[in-house]
Amino acid sequence: MLGAPGIVPGIMPDIMIVTCPNCGAKYKIDSAAIGEKGRMVACANCRHRWFVDPERPGAEPAAPEPPPPPPTAERPRLGEEPGMVRRGSRSSAFGWLVLLVLIAVVAGLVLARNQIATAWPQVAGMYRQLGLEVTVDPGLEIRGVTSSEIDEDGERVLVVSGEIVNTTDYARSVPALQVALLDGDRMELTSEVVRVEPPILEARATTRFETRLEDLPPEARHTVVRFEEAP
């Protein structure tokens, strides 16, 4: 209801009826509460405000327009309190950024697999296990292979030696060698893995290897030296 000042006991108040111009609600109030100059009142039903003129209780001047909100003020969204910080957008943006970085890294590893396998031959097998074809720049060459059979305490021993040359302008990881013995039909009889030192060969550098094979098959006729895993 419309508020009004207290009524003095013993004095019959001058009652006037005021009608809300917005919803039509009617109120009985003491004219003394309005005063001679009139006053602004508010409807308890619809919260509408208007000016009551003592001479024309129903009259109402044009309602002033509400002041515009501050230009920097941001209305809170539904379910948010003023001053709340919305963190969802920042966390989701960071998640997308991490995902894009991971996609770029994986794509780089796939697209540059030939260069990576050339520098580190041991990873070529990993790419092939994933179903990716790998073309490796040879880069390393086996040269000057010689083999000679000697007798040590009545046992036949085959000494195989040679060189490994890095033909590139960058350091290369040297895979192990496989020395195989073949029969007259070029069928492999046996083989032995030989580790090469140093494992990293600098650009245009050369290193030698030598191995001794014992318990030779009597039908062995040829010697083949190859990289255990093609460089």
Q: How confident is the model at residue 62 (pLDDT cuts 50, 70, 90)?
A: very low
pLDDT at 52: 83
pLDDT tens digits for range 95-108: 888 888 989 888 88
Task: Please determine, for residue 186, whether its predicted confidence score (pLDDT) is greater than 60.
Answer: yes
Query: How many angstroms separate the Cα of 178 from the Cα of each of 188, 198, 213?
Result: 12, 16, 12
Mean pLDDT of the chain: 79
Q: In the predicted model, what is the mean pLDDT of residues 173-194?
A: 92
pLDDT at 68: 67
pLDDT at 94: 83
Task: Please determine, for residue 65, whether its predicted confidence score (pLDDT) is greater than 80.
Answer: no
Cis peptide before 76 (omega within 30 of 0): no
> CA-CA-CA-CA torsion for 25, 29, 32, 35, nearest 10 degrees?
-10
Q: Which two three-digit tokens encode residue 28? A: 């009985």
Higher pLDDT residue, 63 or 204? 204
Q: 9-18, 89-98, 170-179, 194-203: which has the minimum mean pLDDT?
A: 9-18
Query: How many angstroms separate the Cα of 114 from the Cα of each of 51, 99, 124, 129, 227?
Result: 86, 25, 8, 15, 18
Q: Look at the pTM and tell me if it is higher than 0.95.
A: no
pLDDT tens digits for range 26-57: 888 877 777 777 888 889 888 889 888 776 64
Half-sphere exposure for 82 (CA within 13 Å, toward CB): 3
Percentage of the chain beyond pLDDT 70 is 74
pLDDT at 51: 85
Q: How confident is the model at residue 80 (pLDDT cuts 50, 70, 90)?
A: low
**Which among 209, 212, 208, 151 has a CA at the least distance from the CA of 181?**
212
Q: In the predicted model, what is the mean pLDDT of residues 20-25?
A: 88
Higher pLDDT residue, 57 or 148? 148
pLDDT at 79: 52
How many other C-beta atoms can be found within 10 angstroms of the C-beta atom of residue 164?
A: 23
pLDDT tens digits for range 108-144: 888 887 777 766 766 777 887 888 877 666 689 999 9
pLDDT at 6: 40
State the Cα–Cα distance between residues 199 and 172, nearest whole angstrom.
8
Half-sphere exposure for 224 (CA within 13 Å, toward CB): 15
Q: How confident is the model at residue 70 (pLDDT cuts 50, 70, 90)?
A: low
State the Cα–Cα distance between residues 163 and 207, nearest whole angstrom.
6
Task: Please determine, for residue 76, whether its predicted confidence score (pLDDT) is greater than 50.
Answer: yes
Half-sphere exposure for 174 (CA within 13 Å, toward CB): 28
Q: Show Cβ contacts of residue 200 under 8 Å, excluding neighbours closer than 6 positions.
A: 171, 172, 173, 174
Structural domains of the chain sorted by starting position, each given as residue range(s) with its CATH number in brackets: 15-52 (no CATH), 93-137 (no CATH), 140-227 (2.60.40.10)
Report which residue type is found at 73.
A
With beta carbons less than 8 A apart as the criterion, state whether 33 and 14 touch. no
**Which among 147, 141, 214 has a CA at the least distance from the CA of 177?**
141
